[in-house]
Homo-oligomer: A and B are copies of this chain.
Amino acid sequence: MSEHISKQFDAELEGVRTRVLQMGGLVEQQIIKAIEGLSSGDLAHIEQVIEDDHRVNAMELELDEACSRVIAKRQPAAGDLRLIIAVIKTITDLERIGDEAEKIARMAKLVHTAKRSNMPPLELKHVSGLALGMLRKALDTFARLDSTGAAQVVEQDELVDVEFRSILRQLITFMMEDPRTITRSLEVLFVAKALERIGDHSKNMAEYVVYMVEGRDVRHLKAGAATQDPLAG
């Protein structure tokens, strides 16, 4: 009997984990579409991202509810409770990544409905590839309960930050050389900032995976590393 209950509980937890991964997949698609929209200028595509954000939000609320139900119905032991708390935190970060994707889409709309003149000649492919790679790997380590891989994701955040600072310096150069590019450059800057934040949120998610698997909290180990001066160095 107790084995039966335990199996049911395992199935419920597994169901929650699967839905987190589905939410992650949706969020990943949102970023990909927003970035594509930014380079293609396909407005229907861009509008779709903005509209679909409510789906991400709904998944967060549903998963919060599911976690509450599991805790209320069962009395999860320490290990399972860690998993549930990690899920509650993870979906908050996923929802905020969804918000950043929506922001990128709104910037893409702004860029492509305005005149295309005075655009700074700058590519965001590299930084978006890095940020998206971190998100994918964070989700993958969540699925496989792989704390070693998750620790690597935490390390990768520094690469995104370095890339962001490099973009910022290039934009400052463009703006100084030709002040007519200022408005467009700031739009590009906000997109780069959104990508940098996607890296931060993915890092948070990876830290929860380590906590979930090892019961060891790796948050805040490197004081200040995540908050380096964007204008320094």
Residue positions of A touching B, CB distance < 8 A: 50, 53-54, 57-58, 60-61, 64, 67-68, 71-72, 75-78, 81-82, 85, 88-89, 92, 99, 102-103, 106-107, 109-110, 168, 172, 175-176, 179, 182-183, 186-187, 189-190, 193, 217, 219-220, 223-224, 226-232
Contacts and interface: CB of A to CB of B under 8 A. Distances in A.
A72 B78 contact: yes
10 contacts: A58-B220, A61-B220, A72-B76, A88-B89, A99-B226, A109-B229, A110-B229, A168-B186, A176-B179, A176-B182
A182 B175 contact: yes
B85 A68 contact: yes
A176 B76 CA distance: 59
A217 B172 contact: no
B92 A183 contact: no
Contacts of A72: 75-78, 81
Nearest to A190: B230
A54 B220 contact: yes
B61 A217 contact: yes
A50 B81 contact: no
A85 B82 contact: no
A57 to B, nearest CB: 4
Contacts of A57: 219-220, 223
Contacts of A229: 106-107, 109-110
A70 to B, nearest CB: 10
Contacts of A182: 172, 175-176, 182
A223 B92 CA distance: 16
Given A71-B76, A72-B78, A183-B231, 8 more contacts: A57-B219, A71-B71, A71-B81, A72-B75, A72-B77, A99-B227, A106-B227, A179-B179
CB-based closest 10 A-B pairs: A57-B220, A179-B179, A106-B229, A75-B75, A176-B179, A175-B182, A54-B223, A102-B227, A103-B227, A110-B229
